[in-house]
Chains A and B, each alone.
Chain A
Amino acid sequence: MNMSDPIKKDHTKQAGKKKNEILFFALRNIKFRIGVFILAFFGILALVGPLISQYDPLDYAGPGYRPPSTEFWMGTSTFGQDIFSQFVHGLGSSFAVGFFGGGLATLVGLMIGFFAGYKGGWLDEILMMLTNILMVIPSVALLIIIAAYLPYRGVGIQSIIIGLTAWPWTARAVRAQTFSLKQREFVALSRISGCKTPRIILEEIAPNMMSYVFMVFIIQFGGAILAAVALDFMGLGPTLGISLGLMMQYANLWSAIQLRMWWWFVPPGLAITLIVSALYFLNTGLDEIFNPKLREM
């Protein structure tokens, strides 16, 4: 995993402050750069795309079955919908589900992990029991059974149910970390000086785990996107609007594979694969940036 070169070590001495050092290593890290580049590319596309696409994603735009051309950049679907417009709108909802769903999962995982780890005792027992139970139930099975009973589903509701089912492993990991941080002197000191639990957690424990929390969020971000795609594909996607998973579901339902309409099903899957890979690259890159031991390898 040697992605650096010998010059790097000489530069370390010059980088004085710690913040600059992290930024320095971030910019030198090729995985970090690739990840940021891919994410920025799709992020900009999701923001600008809806402005430059001339058609509504679900409206009839022109003749169906058209391969990519200058008029329809990504071709049209069987019903004459513009695939480019569906694609850029779908990108937006994928990012939204990743951000809100992954964010909620991280937040819930953090809260439960902090309290279980810091408080200990019966609270820990109960919270960990709940966590262990939810760990074993496949979260998508849980998502299916909840989503199936909802008459209306939007990106927001999808994010909430994904966030509320994806937190258990985060809670477990955060609890373990909190457990070891709790033993340190500075935590004992603020406890003796009469700080309340929420304040100790927020001001003493959380800042020591910031880099870890950020990486957890990245993984949850990718997980939420993948979970949403699976849900959409099973017919539990947003009831209004479009998403990348829905595009693939429609393509599959209307035999795009047999009709060789590759422009309908290749772009959405490719975008998801690239976005989630970029998140993984970013995560490994950040691991190397924050952790000097890995950096030197």
Chain B
Amino acid sequence: MGRYLRRKVAIYLLTLFFAITLNWILPRMMPGDPILSLLSRLATQPQQIQRVHTFLEQSFGLDKPWYEQYFSFWRSMFVGDLGISITHFPKPVTQIIMDALPFSLLITLPAILLSWIVGNKFGAFAARKKKMDNWVLPIWYVLTATPYLWLGILLSWSLGVVLNIFPIAGAYSYQVRREWTSTFVLSYLRHWVLPFLSLFIVQLGGWAIGMRNMIIYELEADYSRFMETMGAPSKLIRKYAYKNAILPQVTGLAVQLGVIVTGALTTEIVFSYPGIGNLLFEAIKRRDYFLIQGCFLFVVIGVLLANFFIDIAYVLIDPRVRLSMGGEKT
């Protein structure tokens, strides 16, 4: 197990290195002068131009040799300095992202976990029940094919505008101040429902299909057949099949993370939810490159951390890996 995790961590560190290097290379490779185009955004405020210009010169350091530029880039990365946002001018990028991060996490994490659990349960339940399978499976396929943002738009149109049950924009009402009062929490929860639902529903289909296929595979395996001939109740056989089928689903969670994160980013834009997705959208519109790069880095780090936790969870769940770990010690 130690070796397994060490290998994984090595890959993650390399990935992080790759992502940060990409963040450094891209602005230097692209056509046009990034500093000039950044400066032209602030053309109306002369004092700010001076500040930004010195800052940019320091951070890009274009007169120095490339390896020195690269090292100073890493140095500022380690102290958490991702540059200064152009749109929210004197505010550092790290602080802006840190403000938005909790909103994103509180939508995305519950949606991923709940839909994974519910989708797996339902997929296992419907597998090998022919009548149900025949009409439920197409629904799952259509759900996985739905773009997250479109389901978000549909929900906000139907439940938000037409039926007027839920608010459709922001994370809390403008009349409420951001402090721990019951009105704030209630307002937050009301705004939370729709973005959560659109993330939850789309993912459901994928997990259900995966689980269904795995259960069918496991029910055909020798051990299931053996139990059947020995006269074991089908409930018990299904229980064992489920335990075996859940392992590939854990790996599937790691593989799907990238797609889910994309869905979360676009869903936030639909609901103008003040998370990373909306921040990124604003940054792209205003060509705020430091903010774009900061968001990219945070998304990558988030996905890497999630992958790491999934690896650990896999080790804890799979008895074979757990046993081989015990074997290593003795």
A residues contacting the other copy or chain, number (CB 8 A): 53
Residue B255 at the chain A interface, CB threshold 8 Å? yes
Distance of B319 from chain A, by nearest CB (Å):
25
A254-272 contact mask (Cβ, 8 Å, vs B): 1 or 0: 0001101010011011101
Does B249 make an interface contact (CB < 8 A)?
no
Q: Which A residues between 224 and 260 are near B, CB-CB below 8 angstroms?
A: 226-227, 229-230, 233-236, 248, 251-252, 257-258, 260
Is B296 part of the contact surface with A, judged by Cβ < 8 Å?
A: yes
Of residues 147 to 186 in B, which have CB atoms within 8 Å of A's CB atoms? 147-151, 153-154, 156-157, 160-162, 168
Judge whether A189 is part of the interface by a CB distance below 8 angstroms.
Answer: no
Which residues of B are found within 8 Å of A135, using beta-carbon distances? 255
Contact B261 A132 (CB under 8 A): no
B270 in contact with A252 (CB, 8 Å):
yes
Q: Is B314 close to A, CB under 8 A?
A: no
CB distance from B303 to the nearest CB of A (A): 5
Size of interface on B: residues with Cβ below 8 Å to A: 64
Complex Cα–Cα for A266 and B156 (A): 12
Helix, strand, loop or mixed for chain B's interface? helix
Selected contact of B299 from candidates A141, A234, A270, CB within 8 Å: A141
A145 contacts B266, C-beta separation under 8 Å: no
**CB neighbours of A2 from chain B (8 A):** 130, 134
Q: Are B147 and A226 in contact (CB under 8 A)?
A: yes
Q: Which stretch from B60-68, B73-81, B101-109, B278-286 is at the chain A interface?
A: B278-286
Indicate whether B54 reaches chain A with its CB closer than 8 angstroms: no
Which of A2, A138, A230, A266 lies at the interface centre, i.e. has the most chain B CB atoms within 10 A of its CB? A138
Bound Cα distance A236, B284 (Å): 8
Whether a CB of chain A sits under 8 angstroms from the CB of B55 is no
Q: How far is the CB of B65 from chain A (nearest CB, A)?
A: 23
Q: Are A145 and B150 in contact (CB under 8 A)?
A: no
Binds B, one of A51-59, A103-111, A274-282: A274-282
Stretch at the interface among B44-52, B138-146, B237-245, B320-328: B138-146
Stretch at the interface among B9-17, B87-95, B116-124, B228-236: B9-17
A79 and B73 alpha carbons, distance in the complex (Å) = 46
Q: How far is the CA of A169 from the CA of B270 in the complex (A)?
A: 29
- Whether B266 pairs with A137 at a CB distance below 8 angstroms is no
The verdict on A122 contacting chain B, using a C-beta distance below 8 Å, is: no
A55 to B152, CA, bound (A): 30
Q: Residue A139 at the B interface, CB < 8 A? A: yes
A-B contacts, 7 of them at CB < 8 A, read A1-B133, A136-B307, A138-B259, A151-B31, A251-B153, A252-B269, A273-B146
Nearest 9 pairs of A and B residues by beta carbon: A269-B150, A138-B258, A276-B145, A149-B30, A277-B145, A140-B262, A141-B299, A145-B296, A235-B284
Which chain A residues have a beta carbon within 8 Å of chain B's beta carbons? Answer: 1-3, 129, 132-133, 135-142, 144-146, 148-151, 169, 222, 226-227, 229-230, 233-236, 248, 251-252, 257-258, 260, 262, 265-266, 268-270, 272-277, 279-281, 284
